[in-house]
């Protein structure tokens, strides 16, 4: 059982029982399209929202407990044909053997160590088709205190993804969370996968 499995025994602060408003907005604007990957999908609210809008979504998470919850919600909501949930490692996305048009990351990047960040960028570049878009929401350094995950700066996002992705925009956003203030300050990064990676799955 990993540390996230233990957290999923209770209600994690990020479990709000609905999709994050930022991804709801991106979906309604038409920014989340095609075949969609949700990296670190948790119990699946964002992926299921996207599936409800008619897209095929694959969610992957390292916590078996989260994947079980996500699959059960997909069945209950009649979305199991469009939303697939895989127990696996987001640092090894090539193992999925698929090419995605859009990847979303809602609170995964900020859990990775300095060493894991470039590995994650490589992994995503393998799973996205060239020109595919990554939409990433992470804690920002504007969030006060030291509660929760590590804070991330815009420069750190650029450093981690700059080799393989073109940065379209990194804009202030927020996470809705079960914490006193009700939300945490975040960056929303829009990144476009620039080049084909050797060994990448063909679309």
Site string for ligand SAH, 32-61 (x = CB under 6 A): --------xxx---x-------------xx
Task: Tell me: does residue 124 bind ligand SAH (CB under 6 A).
Answer: no
> Shortest Cβ distance from residue 118 to ligand SAH (Å)?
14
Task: Tell me: does residue 156 bind ligand SAH (CB under 6 A).
Answer: no
Pure H helices in the chain: 3-8, 21-28, 45-52, 64-76, 116-127, 154-161
β-strands 57-61, 36-39: how paired? Answer: parallel
Task: Tell me: does residue 89 bind ligand SAH (CB under 6 A).
Answer: yes
Task: Tell me: does residue 63 bind ligand SAH (CB under 6 A).
Answer: yes
27: helix, strand or coil: helix
Look up residue 110 and give its DSSP letter.
Answer: G
Among 32, 35, 51, 62, binds ligand SAH (CB under 6 A): 62
Range in contact with ligand SAH (rule: CB under 6 A) among 24-32, 84-92, 164-172, 185-193: 84-92
Give the torsion through C-alpha atoms of 141, 8, 51, 25, to 10 deg: -30
């Amino acid at each position: 059982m990993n540390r996230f499995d233990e957290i999923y025994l209770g209600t994690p602060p990020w479990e709000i029982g609905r999709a994050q408003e930022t991804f709801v907005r991106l979906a309604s604007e038409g920014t989340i399209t095609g075949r969609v990957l949700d990296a670190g999908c948790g119990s699946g609210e964002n992926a299921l929202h996207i599936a409800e809008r008619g897209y095929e979504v694959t969610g992957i998470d390292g916590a078996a407990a989260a994947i079980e919850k996500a699959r059960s919600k997909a069945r209950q909501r009649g979305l199991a044909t469009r939303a697939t949930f895989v127990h696996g490692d987001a640092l090894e996305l090539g193992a999925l053997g698929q090419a995605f048009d859009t990847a979303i990351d809602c609170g995964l990047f900020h859990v990775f160590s300095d060493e894991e960040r470039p590995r994650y960028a490589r992994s995503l570049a393998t799973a996205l088709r060239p020109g595919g878009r990554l939409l990433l929401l992470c804690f920002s350094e504007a969030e006060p205190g030291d509660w929760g995950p590590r804070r991330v700066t815009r420069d750190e996002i650029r450093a981690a993804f700059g080799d393989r992705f073109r940065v379209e925009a990194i804009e202030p956003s927020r996470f809705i969370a079960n914490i006193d203030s009700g939300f945490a300050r975040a960056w929303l990064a829009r990144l476009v996968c620039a080049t084909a990676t050797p060994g990448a799955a063909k679309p």
